[in-house]
Amino acid sequence: MVREQGGTTRRTTAETRDRIIDGATTLFAKDGYHGTGISDIAEKVGLRGGALYYHIGSKEELLWVILSTYTKAVLEVAEEVAASDAPPTEKLTTLIVRQTELIVGSAKQMSIEMRDRSALSDERRAELQKIRERIQAVWQEILDEGHAIGEFASADAVVTNTIITTCNSVAHWYRKSGKYSPSEVADRVATIILTGVVGPA
């Protein structure tokens, strides 16, 4: 019985923490990190300030959790695709599609990162940057692989950065009420990019 109660408590604690993170993500995206107070987050999720601190140590800790979780998810997708046995063109297509779909579902996190990542401590900003650099390196590995065997016309870093930026930019203009679903948008983005990349040098 004690174990059951402990398990229930742990689940409740995890659920509360997730609720806090979701609430903070919404508020940071809407009002900015500096425009959102702990009391605002507490009110959003129906907790008192003291209870909120019990689950999350500080407002900066919340910002770090939001940005690091999102960035690590992007890296995980990239590394998973790169580790497959598929040919480079298929890898790049899959990565473009999955990256675009992930970005569409992470518009709030992207907005927060662009506006508020400077609010992180120097150490955490540096750690986040290392993850971002690893993401770019994985993309570059796929482009280099394809270019080496003649599948891609170029593997220049400018091309790599342009592809990543194109995928990321979808989050700024995509609307759920629009004509296309996230997967349809992702497929179209992949087609446009690959038309310019795949082919003889």
- Per-residue pLDDT tens digits of the chain, which is 201 residues long: 334 445 555 667 888 889 999 999 999 999 999 999 999 999 999 987 677 888 888 899 999 999 999 999 999 999 999 999 999 999 999 999 999 999 999 999 999 999 999 999 999 999 999 999 999 999 999 999 999 999 998 899 999 999 999 999 998 888 887 788 888 989 998 998 888 766 555
Whose tokens are 């599948």? That residue is: 151
Please indicate, yes or no, whether residues 132 and 47 belong to a single structural domain of this protein. no
Contact criterion met (CB below 8 Å) for 194 and 94 = no
How many residues appear in the chain?
Answer: 201
Q: Burial letters for 30-67: b for 16+ Cβ neighbours within 10 Å, e otherwise?
A: eeebeebebebbbebbebeeeebeebbeebeebbbbbb
Q: In the listed set 37, 57, 77, which residue is the last one of a domain according to the structure?
A: 57
Number of structural domains found in the chain = 2
Full residue range of the structural domain in which residue 190 is found: 63-197
Q: What is the pLDDT of residue 49?
A: 66
Please indicate, yes or no, whether residues 51 and 88 belong to a single structural domain of this protein. no
Q: What is the pLDDT of residue 95?
A: 96
Please indicate, yes or no, whether residues 109 and 185 belong to a single structural domain of this protein. yes
List the CATH number of the domain containing 52: 1.10.10.60
Q: What is the pLDDT of residue 181?
A: 87
Please indicate, yes or no, whether residues 71 and 168 belong to a single structural domain of this protein. yes
Left if phi > 0, otherwise alpha if psi is -120 to 50, otherwise beta: which for 114? Answer: alpha
Whose tokens are 């996190």? That residue is: 109
Q: In the listed set 12, 35, 57, which residue is the last one of a domain according to the structure?
A: 57
**Which residues sit opposite 152 in a β-bridge?**
198
Please indicate, yes or no, whether residues 117 and 186 belong to a single structural domain of this protein. yes
pTM of the complete model = 0.85
Please indicate, yes or no, whether residues 78 and 145 belong to a single structural domain of this protein. yes
Q: What is the pLDDT of residue 3?
A: 42
